[in-house]
Amino acid sequence: MVKIGNLNLGEFPLLLAPMEDVSDPPFRAVCKENGVDMMYTEFIAAEGLIRSADKSVQKLDIYDYERPIGIQIFGAEIESMRQAAAIAEAAKPELIDINYGCPVKKVACKGAGAGILQDIPKMQKMTEEIVKQVKIPVTVKTRLGWDENSIKIIEVAKRLQDVGIQALTIHGRTRKQMYKGEADWRHIAEVKNHQDIHIPIFGNGDIDSPEKAWEYRHKFGVDGIMIGRASIGYPWIFREIKHYFKTQELLPPPTLEERVDTCKKHFIKSIEWKGEKLGIFEMRRHYTNYFRGFHHFKDFRMRLVEAESMQEVIDILGEVQDFYQQDLLISY
């Protein structure tokens, strides 16, 4: 069994990656229904939290049906991160996760996210201060290194373990790679199999099918897998992987009715959490993913992104279901 502190995550947990503008409570709700074992909030700026910025504070919202859940924070200043960890702990998550992996320029080039991989002693000190500050488990998500010439992930893992983190997730790319190329899980396996590493090690990067999850689980020996982009518009990936692990058989893809119902549920929860105007706006990025591979969906998508009321969106989704049931033009 994989444990983080006293938190038991089962034999081989599937984790939902923290993704900005994606892994909010509405999206987390549909992932939870499909079997994800552990989820995280979107990453939250430490400076925003300590200044009580509305957007940052709202990201602290967690619900009992989401548990277990971690709140992820990021920042470049040790004192700000320490204070932010205390604020996050007060929201009563199961753990605090530190983002040392975000590669985007506005984060990494200010010394936060993956930027701190250029200063490993500071990373260690920041982590130590956060661990001292809170009473719940602290975990970290990071990348292999800043670039291919500075991969020191074993040293990073040992240093972070030494100051008290209780699990480590590694994305198998460097910051320089961003999301290009193939994630290199060999380095993740080296960390997992190192004689001095005893905390759970989770792998992240490029898992987009049950078969690949099975292959990487057994090839690289990780304690669990974190899934990000493959879950966007396809929360069923968690149940599909779990079914494959148990039976070595692939589940059939979600039916048209399931796709429409889940999209609608995601949309309604988005409205409930963000209000009608913002909920409608922020849901627009998800429609294509829910109906990827459906012939002639472009026209429906244009109408969905132009819709301005909750009822209008629900009505169009009803038309989507009727159209594809009648025409049988679905291509998986």
Tens digits of residue pLDDT in 68-115: 999 999 999 999 999 999 999 999 999 999 999 988 888 988 889 999
Domain with 304, as residue range(s), is: 256-327
Q: Where does residue 326 rank: exposed (0-12), middle (13-18), buried (19+ CB within 10 A)?
A: exposed
Determine the residue type at 19: M
CATH number of the CATH domain containing 279: 1.10.1200
Those residues with Cβ within 8 angstroms of residue 91's Cβ, 6 or more apart along the chain or in another chain: 60, 61, 62, 71
Q: Are residues 145 and 37 in the same domain?
A: yes
Q: Are residues 44 and 164 in the same domain?
A: yes
In a domain, 196, yes or no: yes
Q: Are residues 186 and 288 in the same domain?
A: no
Q: Are residues 174 and 276 in the same domain?
A: no
Backbone angles phi, psi at 212, to 5 degrees: -70, -35
Is residue 182 within 8 A of residue 206, CB to CB? The reply is yes
Determine the residue type at 153: I
Q: Are residues 13 and 90 in the same domain?
A: yes
Domain end marker among 217, 247, 277: 247
Q: Are residues 227 and 261 in the same domain?
A: no
**Rounded distance between C-alpha atoms, residue 33 and residue 239, angstroms:** 9
- How confident is the model at residue 328, as a pLDDT? 53
In a domain, 208, yes or no: yes
Q: Are residues 157 and 213 in the same domain?
A: yes
pLDDT averaged over every residue in the chain: 94
In a domain, 126, yes or no: yes
Provide the domain count of the chain.
2
Note the pLDDT tens digit of each residue in 145-167. 998 888 999 999 999 999 999 99
Strands 3-4 and 7-8, by their bridges, are antiparallel
Is residue 225 within 8 A of residue 213, CB to CB? The reply is yes
**Residue at token pair 């985007």:** 104
The angle that helices 276-283 and 310-327 make with each other, rounded to 10 degrees, is 30
- How confident is the model at residue 332, as a pLDDT? 44
Residues annotated catalytic, as ranges = 102
**Rounded distance between C-alpha atoms, residue 300 and residue 317, angstroms:** 8
**Rounded distance between C-alpha atoms, residue 317 and residue 325, angstroms:** 12
In a domain, 332, yes or no: no
In a domain, 287, yes or no: yes
- How confident is the model at residue 181, as a pLDDT? 87
Is residue 142 within 8 A of residue 114, CB to CB? The reply is yes
Q: Are residues 121 and 100 in the same domain?
A: yes
CATH number of the CATH domain containing 16: 3.20.20.70
Domain end marker among 201, 223, 247: 247
Q: Are residues 30 and 176 in the same domain?
A: yes
Q: Are residues 242 and 260 in the same domain?
A: no
Residues of the chain with pLDDT under 70: 327-332
Prediction pTM value: 0.93
Q: Are residues 203 and 300 in the same domain?
A: no
In a domain, 219, yes or no: yes
Domain end marker among 212, 247, 282: 247
Q: Are residues 305 and 161 in the same domain?
A: no
